[in-house]
Amino acid sequence: MRLLFVCVGNSCRSQMAEGLAKAMGHQADSAGTHPASAIAPNAVTVLEARGIATEGMQPKSVDGFSADDYDLVISMGCGVQCPVMRIDHDWGLEDPVGGPLSLYEATANEIQRRLNLL
């Protein structure tokens, strides 16, 4: 399945979703409406602890993507509005940015649970 995960900063939830989806064999990308300057260190820690490589992952703008290239465009939450891009699902996940590692792990677990349901 071709999946695009969208959020505001593209530094935590959407990056973890991209990595987890790729590990399951999906074609996946992630982007943000206002990309951060870097991926959150705890997001990197969570992915690498699951054996997922994070080399080359960086926040990207939704402006560089077209929903037409994906089977599903999934918002991570936080009321993301992309006027030129359709959003198929809004997962409404709490943003772990600035939180403890345990919050990132819980978020990754919920993302994995939802990916398993696709």
Backbone angles phi, psi at 68, to 5 degrees: -65, -20
List C-alpha distances in Å: 8 to 42, 48, 53, 69, 100.
17, 23, 23, 20, 20
Active site residues: 7, 78, 82
How far is it, in rounded angstroms, from Cα 73 to Cα 88? 5
Residue 4's DSSP bridge partners are: 29, 73
Q: Which helix (H) or strand (E) holds 101?
A: helix 101-117
How far is it, in rounded angstroms, from Cα 19 to Cα 17? 5
